[in-house]
Structure 1
Amino acid sequence: MAESTAWLFLMIFVVFTFTAVSSIDDKCAACNAVAEEIENGLSNEKPRNHLDMRHRLDSKGQRKGKVIDYRVSELRVVELLDGLCDKMQDYTLQKVDSKKYEWVRVDSWDNLTINKQEAKAYSKDISSYCGRLLEETEDELAERIKKGSVKVGGVSKILCQDLSKHCTMSSDSHQADADDDEPDEEL
């Protein structure tokens, strides 16, 4: 009896996991939510001084090394992207109208009017999606951040159109495409 119950729970877990993994139908909307969180990080950046890497002394007692502009440093990239997917757990999928859903930031999980368990499952879905998205695009995104081409207002285009190709059309034509019954490929 206990063994059959364990198998039942295992099967439910497998079905739930498979459903959760495949639940991100609109990759463009999910990518835009991740881009929005990166833009929040960019807009909340405080001005920083250059990074002084002159820690060695030469034979004359002069400091040797480089002074690196913070805006093009690896430290800036790490600070922008580190913990990004954990922050995505504050998002869930909300129904806008009969056919359209969008990813929204949840201010308080206690005040949700929708099923909290389902909302938490969606938050884990987008967090997992974020991890896969960054795994695929992180090197190129980091290079673009260091070059200064990633700016507030342009993250979505760079991340979702140029790098991941999840939003390849204009937003109006993408919505019409999202209504098709063709399944999207998983990232």
Structure 2
Amino acid sequence: MAAPMLWLLSIFSILSIAACIDDKCAACNAVAAELEIQLSKEKPRNHLDMRHRLDSKGQRQGKVIDYRMSELRAVELLDGLCEKMQDYTLEKLDSSRREWIKVHNWDILTIDKQEAKAYSKDISSYCGRLLEETEDELTGLIKKGSVKQGDVSKVLCEDLSEHCSGSSDRDSDNDEL
């Protein structure tokens, strides 16, 4: 009887750790900042030539798809995004404010590294849940060309997930991401 109860408690504690993002708006803005980085690193690509079949006259059949409006582009932008969030941790600015920061060198961190790594796992898990909730809509908006550099936070955190709706004062705290 004690073993199943202990097992159940350990599962609940793991789930509570994974869901411990207090400020979802700040976390969402960090994910949006990483997606902004992905957008800024994008290189121009040729259109996707999907004309692989030949008709009876030897002419190629199919479509040529603009890469910027393709499913491939959306997948490439979102693929690996949550793994990249493991480079982020929560930094305490003062007694009441915290901010998600991107860590470029874990060795020079001034905060507890074990705690910082736990925060990085938290935001990575949060990112997975966020994308699970919004992926279809976000992919559709990327394909339509509605997700542009500078607008990702508004689209993802206000419009789709609504984690930042009505919290413009908290948004300004995360501009440095």
Are the aligned partners of 1:137 and 1:164 in contact in 2 as well (CA < 8 Å)? yes
Q: How many pairs align?
A: 170
State the 1:18 CA deviation.
Answer: 4.3
**Correspondence for 1:163:** 160
State the 1:16 CA deviation.
Answer: 5.0
The 1:91/1:173 distance shift into structure 2, 3 A limit, reads closer
**Correspondence for 1:91:** 88
Question: How far apart in 2 are the matches of 1:111 and 1:95?
Answer: 16
**Structure 2 unmatched ranges of 5 or more:** 173-177
Question: How far apart in 2 are the matches of 1:88 and 1:61?
Answer: 49
Alignment of 1:53 onto 2:50: yes
Alignment of 1:134 onto 2:107: no
Q: Which amino acid is the alignment partner of residue 96 of structure 1?
A: L
Question: How far apart in 2 are the matches of 1:17 and 1:143?
Answer: 33
**Structure 1 unmatched ranges of 5 or more:** 176-187
Question: How far apart in 2 are the matches of 1:38 and 1:92?
Answer: 16
In percent, how many aligned pairs have the same letter?
A: 71
Question: How far apart in 2 are the matches of 1:154 and 1:93?
Answer: 23
Question: How far apart in 2 are the matches of 1:22 and 1:73?
Answer: 33
What is the root-mean-square deviation of aligned Cα atoms in Å?
2.1
**Correspondence for 2:35:** 38
Q: Which amino acid is the alignment partner of residue 88 of structure 1?
A: M
Q: Which amino acid is the alignment partner of residue 161 of structure 2?
A: S
State the 1:98 CA deviation.
Answer: 1.3
TM-score, normalised by the number of residues in structure 2: 0.88
